[in-house]
Structure 1
């Protein structure tokens, strides 16, 4: 079994923040499925190995307590990470996933199609009237925020302040770039959000049931009911994940079409390709570039022994361009079939919001293809810099109604 000490020391966070990380990913794949990274971590790039490790129960999502204390201290931010479904293991993970899945399962989500379409039209109409659309701030953020607020049961007047606090909380998922000010924002936002959601639950106690998660909470038996802190933190995680994934999928997809106008023309000629185009955007420029796992016990991968306690970065963005799996992998192909991408991860912690993110993105691209004429950029795009999430902060376009 080889030690592989000759491989370069790299940072997954550095790769994810580049304007174009894909040439570097290609170089890593050419060296083999594993590469050494900073601080004794391992980077995994090949599609087959990444897919296998996503489903390997010897790897877990919960980071060691020492790492959490080092980056977040002992305050509310660290407690939040300990309670969310992303870091829990069965049976707690199973209970949380079952509860959230009641509102995010495919049958429920499909019934939202008309509602999401009307919301997208409401957001697009002012942009078409003024001839300018920022894909992120005018569409890809407010659409999922509104939909997730509806699912949780957050009243419309409360949403701006709740969103402001959730944006502060979201910094907890970018530990590599945290500043003391960020940590202060996280630890100030969480108590406010906990109090808000506890009050929201209290108001719904006399009217249990209904389509919202706040209403569903009181339908559970006393034995099965989640602790209020578990409910609050997982609703906040759902809120964050709901708009983050859709923001990246939509903004990255629009940017890809702008860089490949022939594919945009193809979609306009055949709008039935929109669902497969959404899958291709997930492959071609994944909104989730990497996920982190910790080895609970020794794991052998491609002839390399990963010791217990080591962290493993599964590079979804690299796996999705693996030529061993995808023909002409560097090319955007909105009709690609088959397309076994790993854009939403996999295994026990497969993204809970998959069906919702897909539906919102299909609705958005159906409208951008059918109702909107993109005339060109209205200013420079601003790429977001994040250790694992890939999207834009701004993507301004000149538009008109078709």
Structure 2
């Protein structure tokens, strides 16, 4: 039970042996506080699309760990915690800006900033993959997509970064709650200001363009739109940073696979998908049962929380050959690294572009990789990445 609690708190440095044990135990495992865990790929994939599971939780759930506050309002407004039709409408406003064609137009912008951020490493200086690359690159890109000027990006991101504890109930502290509740009013006022500036301009701006794109813009409140812009900014950086840091760590521990990429740089594209499978940035997602669900002879009653273990599903040997091995040539690769169904990660195209750009340049311009200090995993209940990953390229 202690190891299972560590898994649920995100403090298990290597959760994959426990994931394997959970898959062997059965399709449905009871955890603490009446929560159910689903570890197998087929079941997770199906339940991500099952209308009997809800993404919306009653307000009492959030208020068990958060008082009435800006943070509670944020959690109740964002598309991650909404069902159709509300989810469908919210996603429609933002999806075009973050879809692959829109993101692809930023390829040169991403490449230029990646070159600049990687320059010290390519000159032989040690860098921290997280602080010097994994966070600043997607911040620059997402801020460009939504129209945050570069001089403002540091102030915006330092406040947006506090929102990661909104999705980490087990590890959330009073200081985390204060930081969210202090940062959110500032962020809301800032983004609303950008939106108003775009409306007042003859040419508009990215935010006003997104806001006007829906089928009936008058039915969407500005407060809902603004909070979802903040959510996408947070989530897009988290998934991109997790992909870059987890992928670098995977290659550092698999020098043969790194050598394969050096020999065949074109494998970076399939390598990105393998990083997302092997050590996914999003390890789990939780739903609420609206109707009875039976798996393996056990019943989940309505009102119970169901945690879908994406990280466990991605190592399921019923789907993946040699699932514990990193294989940058793996194909097909039906991983669930970005979830699935209606709530498939909106920032997946952005994360893939950032990841591909970074790894193509690192593989092309370096001959050897080594850690230049002790890597530090970040503790989070469902987001898996590093707090610190020192790297030296040779």
Q: Which runs of 5+ in 2 are unaligned?
A: none
Match of 1:62 among 56, 70, 81: 56
3-state SS in 2 of match to 1:191: helix
1:303-346 deviation line (CA, Å, top 9, x unaligned): 21100000001001100000010001111000001111110111
**Maintained 8 Å contact 2:16/2:312:** yes
Q: Distance in 1 between matches of 2:269 and 2:311?
A: 20
Distance 2:187 2:368 in 1: 39
Find the aligned partners of 2:24 and 2:214 in 1 and give their Cα distance: 51
- Does 1:48 find its partner at 2:75? no
Structure 1 pair 293/42, CA: closer, same or farther in 2 (3 Å)? same
Q: Is 1:140 aligned to 2:134, yes or no?
A: yes
2:389 corresponds, among 391, 395, 398, to: 395
Task: Please tell me whether residue 265 in structure 1 is matched to residue 259 in structure 2.
Answer: yes
1:312 corresponds to? 306
In structure 2, how many angstroms separate the alpha carbons of the residues matched to 1:125 and 1:249?
A: 20
User: Is contact 1:44–1:50 with CA below 8 Å preserved after alignment?
Assistant: yes
Which residue is 1:190 aligned to? 184
Q: Does 1:77 align with 2:89?
A: no
* CA RMSD after TM alignment: 1.9
How high is the TM-score relative to the length of structure 1? 0.94
* Distance change >3 Å, CA 211–CA 33, structure 1 → 2: farther
Given that residues 28 and 36 in structure 2 are in contact (C-alpha distance below 8 angstroms), is that contact kept between their aligned partners in structure 1?
Answer: yes
Is residue 148–residue 239 contact of structure 1 (8 Å, CA) maintained in 2? Answer: yes
Give, in angstroms, the shift of residue 108 of structure 1: 1.2
Determine which of 86, 92, 99 is the counterpart of 2:93: 99
Cα distance in 2, alignment partners of residues 196 and 183 from structure 1: 20
SS in 2 for 1:344: coil
Shift of 1:368: 1.1
Distance 1:106 1:220 in 2: 18
Of stretches 217-226 and 347-356 in structure 1, the one that deviates more from structure 2 is: 217-226
In 1, the alpha carbon distance for the partners of 2:163 and 2:324 equals 35
Q: d(CA) in 1 for partners of 2:85 and 2:151? A: 37
**Farther-moved stretch of structure 1 (274-283 vs 127-136):** 127-136
Q: Which residue of 2 aligns with 1:3?
A: none
Alignment of 1:323 onto 2:317: yes
SS at structure 2 position matched to 1:372: coil
- CA shift digits 1:224-259 (9 cap, x unpaired): 463111111001101100110011111001100010
SS in 2 for 1:294: strand
Q: Tell me the equivalent position of 1:90.
A: 84
Matches within 5 A, 1:167-316: 167-207=161-201, 212-218=206-212, 223-224=217-218, 226-316=220-310
State the shift of 1:364 in Å. Answer: 0.8
Give 1:221 deviation, angstroms.
7.6
Following TM superposition, by how much is the alpha carbon of 1:66 offset from its aligned partner in structure 2, in angstroms?
1.6
Distance 1:12 1:382 in 2: 16
SS across alignment from 2:285: strand
Deviation at 1:13, TM superposition (A): 4.8
1:26 aligns with one of 10, 13, 20:
20
Normalised TM-score (structure 2): 0.96
- 3-state SS, counterpart of residue 56 of structure 2: coil
Structure-2 change in CA distance of 1:390 and 1:209 (3 Å): farther
Cross-structure match for 1:4: none
Paired residues in the alignment total: 394
Residues 5-59 of structure 1 deviation map (CA, whole Å, 9 limit, x = unaligned): xx99944753632110000111111111111100001010010001111010110
Distance in structure 1 (CA, Å) of the matches to 2:9 and 2:77: 29
Q: What secondary structure sits across from 2:165 in the alignment? A: helix
Is 1:152 aligned to 2:164, yes or no? Answer: no
